[in-house]
Amino acid sequence: FFQKTLTAVKSWFTLFGWSKGQNPISVPHSLRRDVCIVQLTVAQEKDFKLTVDRDKGFYEMLLHLNGQPIPGIAASQSLPPNPVDRMFQLHWQHSELLSFLRSQGASLSHVMPEFLLAPEDYKIWTEVNTGLRKGSMRSSGKLSGTPIFILEHRTFETMSKRAWTDVLLQIFKVLVLPRVSSRTAPDPSSLESLHNMPGIKSEPLSSNVYSRYERTVLIWLNKQYEKNRKIVWKDSQRGGIPPTRWIVNFDQDLLDGLVLAAQVAAYCPYLIPTHFIKMYTNPKTHEQLLHNSLVLVKALHSINLDVDVKV
């Protein structure tokens, strides 16, 4: 499940996260690399500079999605050549990033800024905070009262990948989903069948699972499905018109593909006779669920929807 989530996250941010076209990313490697323009000192005591396209940096992506820079952090960063100073500045930047996202409603209390560091910087961070790096401790760097987690390399890489994935998911949640407007949805009074369905409240405190904007999407899914199910499958030969349903989540209620097909059909009705009419409207087996998924994926491919959709 985590790997599928990671694949979906990378696909979306690769395709839509940047102001000037696609930019392939890897999690966490390219994100850790592209947070800034870095001046590093390697073991051979040679200096080199890692230059990053100013339009492809991590904070340029945030600028594009947020509409304005993160307070206190410029889109292009230059780090000091001293390894300890570099680590402290990166740790501060990550702390500011997490604080900003949390202030926007992101659920990131489990992500610590050190997990967003590169392995070599994380090693320095542990040495400084445990006193192993003599002459490097400074009061502004150590977080008093904060537990210090000393992770071996493989465990740290796993934790870093999960932390960066959660950061991207929450960036999407607080910077992209708020663009969804409920004003584009049809008036429920025009749909008589919706009167007998339980409603989904969009107030901020009505759910401890989904944000207000995620619930707006759920409301839209309910309205569109109820409006279109009798249109899409009126001539169905594989179960007839599907029954009314209450869509309250993004996993179980979307498994059979019917809800998503109803949304696509609302904008591409010509796919109904060529694809969606072939779907099982009351699937009972795993094979029928897979069949519906394949039909939906083929429909998306047929309209050249530029997303890496796989079953």
Tell me the pLDDT band of 207, cut-offs 50, 70 and 90.
Answer: low
Residue 35 near residue 59, CB atoms below 8 Å = yes
pLDDT(45) > 50: no
Question: Are 70 and 136 part of one and the same domain?
Answer: yes
Question: Are 218 and 263 part of one and the same domain?
Answer: yes
Question: What's residue 1's pLDDT?
Answer: 85
**Residues paired with 50 in a beta bridge:** 38
Domain boundary among 144, 160, 179: 179
Question: Are 2 and 144 part of one and the same domain?
Answer: yes
Question: Are 6 and 124 part of one and the same domain?
Answer: yes
Residue 117 near residue 125, CB atoms below 8 Å = yes
In a domain, 310, yes or no: no
In a domain, 172, yes or no: yes
Tens digits of per-residue pLDDT, 224-253?
999 999 999 999 888 899 998 889 888 899
Tens digits of per-residue pLDDT, 260-271?
999 999 999 999
Tens digits of per-residue pLDDT, 11-27?
999 989 988 888 899 99
Where is pLDDT greater, at 60 or 122?
122
Domain boundary among 179, 201, 223: 179
Question: Are 23 and 85 part of one and the same domain?
Answer: yes
pLDDT(185) > 70: no
Q: Is the pTM of this model over 0.75?
A: no
Q: What does pLDDT average to over the chain?
A: 81
Q: What is the tally of structural domains in the chain?
A: 2
Question: Are 51 and 164 part of one and the same domain?
Answer: yes
Close Cβ partners of 83 (under 8 Å, ≥ 6 residues apart): 41, 120, 121, 124
Question: Are 11 and 129 part of one and the same domain?
Answer: yes
Question: Are 9 and 116 part of one and the same domain?
Answer: yes
Question: Are 60 and 152 part of one and the same domain?
Answer: yes
In a domain, 308, yes or no: no
Domain residues for 93? 1-179
Question: What's residue 33's pLDDT?
Answer: 84
